[in-house]
Chains A and B, each alone.
Chain A
């Protein structure tokens, strides 16, 4: 009874505003806002397998209703109450914590939005952006770490700029996981199954530039989005709403790029960004998607420290190059005094670029020889005059011109035993040596989950031809400055031929290291020492064999869309005293980054196969 009285009192006390809100609630329900795509996007609702809605946000303060994670409707009602009803507004009010929802609801319900003047923290956040536009920034390939070919994306909010200005002090917004363990196994598993919380963070762009351009020597490409001022503001409002929540991080699906795309889409639902994404989200695919749909209005490029060095080096004349080479290779702090001043400046500047690229970690340590070298060159440079910097060219390889990451293929062929075969293949990601170059790094292959099935015509049976979990090749041609290794690694199962059996299947791994030489940019020779363990039930005697031996090959790139690859490999198994040889020649021509056609001739021990291949990228 007292409880009932209390309730009645409460009702009396709040009734004037409650009356208005329930009117608003009714209006919202009449408009079916709980099913409105913009509302669903703003709270990250996704339909589950059973057809119910569930929000991807995992921090529960993101919801005002106890059922909020699973009920767009309850959450809508509760938000209308909280945003339009609260008598006093401060930083903890729904009005201040969820400005994007407030803006959306006021617009849809055609009511005046309560002022956000009392929202001090939010206002400070908003004004620190000084944003005129927003760019999606793609950090490409990390040299010698092919798995970074997937790239990374984050946002940069562009301040108004004059021509000579810099974007370094703009603010960027990043989505990343905060792993609580560095144990590689937990790290991996946790990344795959969502153990780590992913959070949004805001950091000055110069921070990201140091991280990617300098420390990791990765190019940064910026794609300025064609958003209205209203959409841009709504994006900042929506990012603020992520302040206290997190999303369980899934490496392949709910990753950095995915949450950026859904955040942008929530602010600009007309873009329909998430509908074209694969269930797994590869950052470079999100760039292709933005570009293809014409949502990009400006592209800019910031070279990695490696490309800064290479670019500036290419501007040197012959004698300057010779002196720069001498200094870099001998690590000398003394620039020849016989050179004219202009040449000495060019040589020192290029050497400084080299040190910035090659030794950016070492020069942090004052007692290292690299620091001493760098410092004495700087001392010399400081007393020489200022010169105009060169304008570096954009590389021909651009991330937005790549082929889509998934690939399906068919092939037809016959072998020298006159048996025809047909194959279909499916590759989850990303790029092989013969695929159209587009936006992918040259002389590099990285394939994940590549599966091929085959039908040999006389057997009338579909069988597994190969299933490669991972297949990576990195060819680093030696040059005047870099003597890096080339290597390859693969793991999976494949069909093989030897004297014991033809078309047998086994588990295999390949590890190879060697060197590559590129006499011109269009041709590359390589030589490896390879070890390939194969385990197969079909082997007579020992089921596990290890073939060790040399491999030689070449790769010719007459054009971005036409490539030739050939290799010869000879392996010897010492326990069984048998050898294994493979020779292959492949040609492939591609069309519009969508299709490619090729031929392959492969001689494996005594079995020769010729086939025609066609691939589709999607």
Chain B
């Protein structure tokens, strides 16, 4: 009886933790552990996102500063991760994803939101983050009010 109890305990523990693992990684927390997993759709997408043009798979203390938050990568990484949210906000003409986009471009949120809504079809015809960035750059360069302030 006690052996059976031990066996059940071990199996149950294994299951309860693999359940949590499916949620957010062994150990409970973290992106580092999520990127390599393949059992969940969200995670696959996440892996795809991070494997994309601007992402980097190895995470460390400097990852966020050097790979996502630094100079030329900053805007690309932002668009890559927030693509759907930016697209939805652009169709609506407002939203936090656009406020963030304006911030990484260092320009006025209101003007950028307006320009992206007006040029919605042109900007979001591609689902590729890098191409979308080029389209956004084009919009900025052809809008005098934006060209003066944004860092396209």
Contacts and interface: CB of A to CB of B under 8 A. Distances in A.
B112 interface: no
B76 to A, nearest CB: 12
A200 B60 CA distance: 6
Interface stretch (B80-88, B134-142, B143-151): B80-88
Interface magnitude class on chain B: 35 or more
A469 B13 contact: yes
Interface in B33-56: 33-34, 36-39, 41-46, 48-49
A148 B20 contact: yes
A388 B93 CA distance: 10
A171 B67 CA distance: 12
A378 B60 contact: no
A125 B95 CA distance: 30
B42 A179 contact: no
Interface in A152-170: 152-154, 164-166, 168-169
B14 A142 contact: no
Contact of A207 (B16, B68, B84, B97): B68
Contacts of A360: 42, 45, 84
B27 A382 contact: no
Interface in B89-104: 90-97, 99-100, 103-104
Contacts of A256: 27-30
Interface magnitude class on chain A: 35 or more
A119 B12 CA distance: 50
A572 interface: no
A251 to B, nearest CB: 6
A251 B28 contact: yes
B83 to A, nearest CB: 9
Contacts of B70: 128
A169 B63 contact: no
Given A168-B96, A382-B121, A125 B62 contact: yes
A574 B5 CA distance: 24
A175 interface: yes
A182 interface: yes
A43 to B, nearest CB: 17
Given A176-B28, A469-B12, A166 B103 contact: yes
B18 A177 contact: no
A389 interface: yes
A192 B17 CA distance: 9
A356 interface: yes
Interface of A is mostly: mixed
Interface of B is mostly: helix
Nearest to A388: B94
Contact of B31 (A201, A242, A389, A448): A201
A242 B61 CA distance: 7
Most B C-beta atoms less than 10 A away, residue of A121, A211, A389: A211
A493 interface: yes
Given A176-B29, A179-B27, A386-B94, A378 B88 contact: yes
A366 B60 contact: no
A239 B63 contact: no
Contact of A177 (B8, B14, B30, B48): B30
Contact of A382 (B34, B46, B91): B91
A381 B92 contact: yes
Interface stretch (A183-191, A284-292, A393-401): A183-191
A535 to B, nearest CB: 7
A100 interface: no
Contacts of B69: 128, 169, 171, 204
A204 B45 contact: no
A243 interface: yes
Contact of A243 (B16, B26, B61): B61
A465 interface: no
Contacts of A249: 26-27
B85 A214 contact: yes
Nearest to B87: A378
Contacts of A165: 99, 103
Given A184-B18, A386-B117, A389-B94, A142 B23 contact: yes
A177 B96 contact: no
Given A142-B23, A184-B14, A382 B33 contact: no
A483 interface: no
B4 A215 contact: no
Contact of A128 (B32, B49, B65, B103): B65
A185 B120 CA distance: 48
Contacts of B38: 182
A176 B23 CA distance: 14
A210 B79 CA distance: 12
A124 interface: yes
B84 A152 contact: no
A179 B23 contact: no
B109 interface: yes
Interface in A205-237: 206-208, 210-211, 214-216
B4 A535 contact: yes
Interface string A374-389: 0000110110011111
Given A176-B30, A215-B42, A204 B93 contact: no
A470 B44 CA distance: 29
Contacts of B18: 184, 187-188
A215 B45 contact: yes
A354 to B, nearest CB: 12
B116 to A, nearest CB: 9
A497 interface: no
A255 B45 contact: no
Interface in A343-390: 349, 352, 356, 360-364, 366, 378-379, 381-382, 385-389
B115 interface: no
A531 interface: no
A349 B42 contact: no
A206 B82 contact: yes
Nearest to A147: B20
A493 B81 CA distance: 47
A198 B121 CA distance: 44
Contact of A366 (B34, B81, B87, B127): B127
User: Lowest 5 A-B CB distances belong to which pairs?
Assistant: A176-B30, A177-B27, A202-B64, A386-B93, A256-B29
Given A177-B28, A201-B31, 5 more contacts: A145-B20, A145-B22, A174-B32, A182-B39, A202-B62
21 contacts: A125-B61, A128-B70, A145-B20, A153-B29, A169-B69, A169-B78, A172-B64, A174-B31, A182-B37, A185-B14, A207-B64, A239-B61, A242-B61, A243-B62, A251-B26, A283-B28, A360-B45, A364-B48, A386-B113, A448-B16, A470-B16
